[in-house]
Each structure stands twice: as C-alpha cells, then as structure tokens.
Amino acid sequence: MNTESKNTTGDLLTGPSPKGIRWLLANNDFIFALGLGVVLATLLIPLPTAILDILLSCSIAIALATIVVVLSVRESIEFSAFPSLLLFVTLFRLSLNVASTRLILLQADAGRIIETFGEFVVGGNMVIGLVIFLILVVIQFVVITKGSERISEVSARFHLDAMPGKQMAIDADLSSGLIGEDQARDRREKIVQESEFYGSMDGASKFIRGDAIAGLIITAVNLIGGLAVGMGKGMSLGEAGETYSILAVGDGLVTQIPALIISTASGFLISKASTKKSVGQDLTRQMLSRSRPLTIASFLMGAMVFVPGFPKVPFIVLALGTGLLARRLSRNEREALEKKTPKRQAEPDQTSVEELLDVDRLSIQVGSGLIKTVDPRQKNSLSHRIGPLRRRFAQEYGVILPLVRLRDNIMLKPNTYEIRLYNHVISSGSLEPDKYLAMDPGTVQKTIPGQPAEEPVFNLPALWIDSEQKEQAELQGYTVVDPESILVTHLAESLKRHAHELLSRDDVQGMVDRLSKKEPTLVSEVVGKLVSIGLLQRVLQNLLKDRIPIRDFRQIVEALGDSAEKSKDIRFLTEMARKALVRTITEQYIDTDGKIHTIVLDPALEHELCNAAGEAGKGTLALTPQRALGLAQQIANAWKSAMEGGHDKIVLLCESRLRADLADMLVRQVPQLPVLAYEEVSIGTGVESLTTISLNPQGEGAIDGAGAPNPVPTAMAAPALTG
C-alpha cells in the first residue's frame, strides 16, 4: 500500500543509493514541476527535430514503465497516483502532437522517430499506415477505453456504497479486540483512499477517450494541412501526398502506440482485484490451479490437427505442451492431497487416566449448532478473538488470563453455550449461528421483523434477523452484532466478574518475578518477609473482586510493605492497597461530564452504621436481618432511580470504616454498585451527589426526595476530599 511505497522511498533516500538518485528522490516536486514546464514549452516554442526525438522517446519509455509498474502492483491503490500520471502523460502526448504538427507543416521534417514509423513500420505505404492507425484508434477508443470507463464507474459506485459497512466492520473488530487502534486507523485510511482512487479513475478514464479522439483529429489535420501546404509550395498533389502523408501517419502512430499502452495499463489497474498478488501471479496461480481444464484444452488442441487445411505442427506442439503441464499439475495435486490427509492417530482408549482428572481453569462448551463459531478454520470464529481479548484484559486489569479451552458438548442444546470456570458454569446463553442480533439502543425509527430474543450478556430485548436484513436494520438505527461478537463479549464480562477466582498463586509468583527484575529491593524487603505469596494473592483477589485493576502492582506491594507490620488482616491490607490506588479507582468511575455521580448516606444514618460496625475490619454490621435487608433495598432503589436518570457510572460513598461491610452487605442486592470511601476519590475530582439515604422516624433507611437527585451535590463528600 502507500505505507510500503513511503518506506521504499525512505530507504532510497537514506540507503546507499547513487547520489544522483537520492537527489532526484529528494527533489521530486521540483522534477514534476519542471516536467509540466516542458509540456508548456513544447506547446508554445518550436522545437528542433533532435529535441522532439528525445521527447517522443521519453513518451514511449513512460508508457512502458507505467504498464510494467501496473502489472507488478498487489492492490490498485498501491498506484494511487495513476490518475494524476494519466493527466500528465495525456498533456505530454498532445503537446508532442502540436510540436510535431508544427514541424511537419513548416519543414516537412519531424525527426527520425516519426520518419521511421512512417517508412519502416508501415513500409512507406500511406494506405497501410492509415489502416493500422485506424485499427489502433478503434481498439483504444471502442474496446479498452469503453471497458475501462464502465469498470471505473461501477467500482467507484460500489466502493462508495460499501464505505459505511466497511467502517462498521472496522469498529466491530476494534471493539471486540481483533485489531488495535493503529490497525483500525490504517484500515479507515485505506477505505478513504480506495473511494478517492476509484472516483478519480472514473474521471481520468475520460482523458484516454479524449486522447484517442484528439489523435484522430490531429492526424486528419496533418493530412489535409500537409496537402494544402505542399501544393502552396508548388508541389503537385502526388508529391505533397507522398511527402506529408507518410509524416502524418508516422506522427499518428508514434503517439497512438504509447496511448494504447497507457490505456491498457489503466484497464489492468482498474480491473485488478485486491488479492495481495500481482496480475501475473494471479493469472498463473488461477489458470494453473487445476489440471482438469488443461487436460481438456490439450485434447481440444489435438483435435484441431484433424481440421482440413489447418497447420498441424503448431497444434501438435501446443497439445503436447499443455498435456505435459496438465500431467505435472495432476501429480502435484495428488501430493498435496496426501499431505492434507491426516494419518490415523492412536486409539482414544490410550489416553491416560491422569489426563481425565485434569480440570480446565477456563473453558467454553458449545452445542452442535455452534461448532462453526469456535472452529479455528473459520475466519472470524471465537478462536481468533480470544488472543486479542487476553491482551486487552491484561492491559486493562493487569491479569494474564489462562488459555481458554474450546469444546463441543453433545449434551447441550444445539445452539446453546456455557462458559465454565474450573468446570463450573458461570455464564450461559443461546445464539443463532447464521443470523445477526439486532438491539434497539433507543434510536430505532422503524421496527423490523425478526425472532424475539434476549441479549445474553446484559439481558436486553433484541431480535434475531437474517443477514439480508442487516443493512436495513442498521439504517433504521439498530445495533447489529454477529454471534461471535456476542459470545466474546459475554466471555469478557464473565471474566471481569470472576477474575479474582482465576488468579492463582503461580500467577502471583509470576507477577512478583517480573517486578523483581525492575524493583529488586522492594520485592526482597516485602515479599516473603512481610507478605507471603498466599497473603498477596488474597489481597489481589479482593481488589479484582471489586473490579479494581492491579496493573500498578508496584504500588500495591509498596502499600502492603508499609502496612503489613501493623497487621496481617486481609481486609485491612486490602483497604490499604485501595488507598494506594486512589487515582486508578477514581479514573474508573468518572462519568462523561468529568464528575463522579454518587449516592451518599445521611450523617445520622452513617453515624448509626459506624456504631453498628464496631471494630473496623471484622466484616459485620450489627443490624437485624430485616433492617439490613431494608437498607439494602433502599440503596438498590436509589441506584435504579439514578440509572434511569441517564447516568452510566454511579458509586456509593461512605466512611472508610463502613466501606468493606457495606460492600459485603450489598453484593447480592446490587452487585453493580461500587462502594467507595471518601478517601478513595482523588483530590480535585468533581463529585455530584444524586441521592441521599436517610433515616425515617421508624429508623428505617429512606431516600431523600423519593429518589430524586439531591440539589446539594457535595455536602457529604467535600470535607473528606479536601483533607
């Protein structure tokens, strides 16, 4: 693509190229401007015949170089400058026509090249020259130019129509982790370049057509004008025709042949499919891909020998050559088939009993109808998406996920799947493998028919639609996703909920080993002496359970090193680690308006809960079951009301003594609501209190304002945040 051409130019500029080549590449803008100046000068200034010969040679050389470059490109947009080059060479040839016409009519001499084309190429016969010239014009104007023009029109329209779908496909691959930001940017640039290129070629093809018409008119002008000028100089009609007609025909041929080469190159470039191979490689690979067609062709050519009057030797040679080639290809096909055929493996009964006892840490089991979604031979299957998911999870949470085992399970319903952790089902769902899931994000203008379903990740209402309805659904405002994307999203959400269960002691030891290479003193002082691997694992699991990334492993170890001498209590150490990750925690819950939206407790309720908590770190609140359940329900209602108000990220703010106990109490009622201490919001972060949970006269928790947002945003949080 363009990147490769830029790299090549950079290598030529900086590499051990000759000094002259480096100068030309470094001053290519100047050279191009100089070429345009030569075109203008040729139009205005009479040229000596020697200079005209040089310029005509350049025209032929440019045409030959262009078609060689076109035949070697892998994709059409690798030669995205072709429309501009086409305009330049068209102007160049027309300027040469003007210069040669001037010399023919003024001096009856247009140089050696034109004379050679007129005398040698057509044998000095004006009639033969005119016939050849007209044949070339017909080939270029009617055949090549007309076909190229039609291909460019269709390609430009199709590429423009396909742009939205390609953009959405790139966005889907990016969101699912199949590609990175740089790859997505490159693909978007490529789509824009393709649409611009084919749009330019749609217009540039008119240059070729106009060039053919202009060449025909100029040749006619040279013939008629030459006869008139010759007879004006006292020549007879025969002498004038013999002198000027040969030059006119030679001039027409010497400009039409490069034009024919350029138009042929244009046809090759526009009709080139994006196969990452050159035209020659594509033709060779596709024509010689199977032996059977060549075998049939060999017999047909052999049969031509028996046609009366046909020469026998050429057809015999062609039949034998094609037959030998077909035989060689047939042998290669058999060898390739033998390599692909798998040899019989050992009997399954030989599997060791010990292997049957192994339990996969993480696995996905699918029914028979979903085997295609996990088949590694399928281009967009789950097998190809797990790798990017593991990389993205490691970047976001600092945890390297174990390998995911993909299995089929005939005990499951055909279109269902199960995500298992240590062989226990943690998530499940069903998919329609040959359909798309359409979800209404609230912007649907018109509903479409489909099979009602429930999106398995967030339990949202949706529709299964056929692939033919995909474009229509997107135009109506639906969010349309394929089954593989649903499954990988469900896996990602399940991993976020259960990441703490996946973190083993060996994983923690690996993290410690990596840290010791950068911070050997820290690791030697803390790990093993103050904090064991098991204790460190429990703290990290608690953080992951609260969906706090552990990417900043050094900060966590530092905090534990400072606090482990005071207590080895896991809850206490977890709270200390959380305080060290204040910025990480804060960044997670900042909403789109730059603030953290919170639910807070009334001071009286908070004071009562602090008394009920007793000694910090014991993990219990001295509340009756009815009181605890009622309070949890009030907080759940407040959270639901705030979510319906259009806020995506909401947290419960409380005293640090209450944070862990409240989080444990709410984990079953409102698992999606994070509980933060005041100290866990970094200084300078905007905090907006949406709802206050207060005590009513009966001592039950109540929502201030019946769930409406509290007009006083930071009354509770401000003292703690500025301390």
For every residue of 572-617, DSSP letters joined together read HHHHHHHHHTHHHHHHHH--TTSEEEEEEE-HHHHHHHHHHH-STT
Same-domain check for residues 621 and 520: no
512: Cα within 13 Å, side-chain hemisphere: 23
Mean pLDDT in residue range 480-500:
89
Predicted confidence band at 122 (pLDDT cuts at 50, 70, 90)? Answer: low
Is residue 540 a part of any domain in this protein? yes
675: Cα within 13 Å, side-chain hemisphere: 23
Q: Torsion angle of alpha carbons 49, 51, 57, 60, nearest 10°?
A: -90
For position 346, what pLDDT does the model report? 44
Dump pLDDT digits (tens) for 593-642.
889 999 999 888 888 888 887 544 455 677 888 888 888 889 988 888 88
When divided into structural domains, the chain yields a total of: 5
Q: Give me the phi and psi of 677, to 5 degrees please.
A: -85, 160
Domain boundary among 434, 466, 499: 499
For position 4, what pLDDT does the model report? 42
Same-domain check for residues 54 and 188: yes
For position 164, what pLDDT does the model report? 72
Radius of gyration of the chain (CA): 39
For position 600, what pLDDT does the model report? 92
Same-domain check for residues 433 and 511: no
**Window from 190-199, 379-388, 709-718 with minimum mean pLDDT:** 709-718
Same-domain check for residues 292 and 439: no
Domain boundary among 231, 253, 276: 276
Give the residue, 289 or 448, on which the prediction is more confident.
Answer: 448
Q: What's 526's domain CATH number?
A: 1.10.8.540
Closest of 164, 41, 39, 135 to residue 94, by C-alpha: 39
Predicted confidence band at 420 (pLDDT cuts at 50, 70, 90)? Answer: very high
Distance CA 310, CA 305 (A): 7
For position 708, what pLDDT does the model report? 39
Mean pLDDT in residue range 495-516:
90
For position 652, what pLDDT does the model report? 92
Dump pLDDT digits (tens) for 272-296.
766 667 777 777 777 777 888 888 8
Distance CA 504, CA 20 (A): 63
Same-domain check for residues 193 and 82: yes
Dump pLDDT digits (tens) for 203-224.
777 777 777 778 778 888 878 8
For position 557, what pLDDT does the model report? 93
Mean pLDDT in residue range 487-497:
90
Q: Which helix (H) or strand (E) holds 511?
A: helix 505-518
Give the residue, 336 or 320, on which the prediction is more confident.
Answer: 320
Query: Strand, helix or coil at 661?
Result: helix
Instruction: Please report, rounded to a whole number, the percentage of residues in the chain having pLDDT higher than 90.
Output: 13
Same-domain check for residues 604 and 709: yes
CB atoms within 10 A of CB 353: 6
Which residues sit opposite 577 in a β-bridge? Answer: none
Mean pLDDT in residue range 63-69:
89
Residue 429 has pLDDT above 70, yes or no: yes
For position 11, what pLDDT does the model report? 45
Is residue 515 a part of any domain in this protein? yes
Dump pLDDT digits (tens) for 549-559.
998 999 999 99
Residue 540 has pLDDT above 90, yes or no: yes
Give the residue, 483 or 209, on which the prediction is more confident.
Answer: 483
Same-domain check for residues 625 and 558: no
Same-domain check for residues 271 and 401: no
For position 521, what pLDDT does the model report? 92
Domain boundary among 453, 475, 499: 499
Predicted confidence band at 695 (pLDDT cuts at 50, 70, 90)? Answer: low
Is residue 612 a part of any domain in this protein? yes
Residue with tokens 């030569």: 38
Predicted confidence band at 536 (pLDDT cuts at 50, 70, 90)? Answer: very high
For position 532, what pLDDT does the model report? 92
Mean pLDDT in residue range 136-141:
78
Dump pLDDT digits (tens) for 151-161.
777 777 776 77
What token pair was written down for 23?
A: 């100068």
Burial label, 240 (beta-carbon count in 10 A; 0-12, 13-18, 19+)? buried
Same-domain check for residues 490 and 531: no
Distance CA 361, CA 399 (A): 14
For position 123, what pLDDT does the model report? 65
Looking at the chain, how many residues does it have?
723
Predicted confidence band at 421 (pLDDT cuts at 50, 70, 90)? Answer: very high
Mean pLDDT in residue range 21-45:
72
Q: What's 640's domain CATH number?
A: 3.40.50.12790
Dump pLDDT digits (tens) for 211-270.
777 877 888 887 888 888 888 877 777 777 777 777 887 888 888 888 888 888 888 887
For position 90, what pLDDT does the model report? 85
Q: What's 433's domain CATH number?
A: 3.40.30.60
Q: Which helix (H) or strand (E) holds 436?
A: strand 436-439
**Window from 117-131, 175-189, 235-249 with minimum mean pLDDT:** 117-131
Give the residue, 687 or 351, on which the prediction is more confident.
Answer: 687
Instruction: Please report, rounded to a whole number, the percentage of residues in the chain having pLDDT higher than 70.
Output: 86
Burial label, 533 (beta-carbon count in 10 A; 0-12, 13-18, 19+)? middle
Q: Torsion angle of alpha carbons 246, 248, 254, 255, nearest 10°?
A: -170
Q: Give me the phi and psi of 688, to 5 degrees please.
A: -120, 120
Is residue 8 a part of any domain in this protein? no
Same-domain check for residues 493 and 508: no
Residue 19 has pLDDT above 60, yes or no: no
Mean pLDDT in residue range 114-136:
73
For position 85, what pLDDT does the model report? 85
Give the residue, 451 or 246, on which the prediction is more confident.
Answer: 451
Residue 171 has pLDDT above 80, yes or no: no
Is residue 10 a part of any domain in this protein? no
Closest of 152, 380, 360, 393 to residue 271, by C-alpha: 152
400 CB-near residues (< 8 Å, 6+ apart): 390, 394, 507, 510
> Which domain covers residue 684, as residue numbers?
588-722
For position 701, what pLDDT does the model report? 47
**What is the average pLDDT value for the chain, to the nearest integer?**
80
Is residue 369 a part of any domain in this protein? no
For position 506, what pLDDT does the model report? 92
Same-domain check for residues 494 and 508: no
Is residue 1 a part of any domain in this protein? no
Query: Strand, helix or coil at 154?
Result: helix
Is residue 307 a part of any domain in this protein? yes
Same-domain check for residues 513 and 495: no
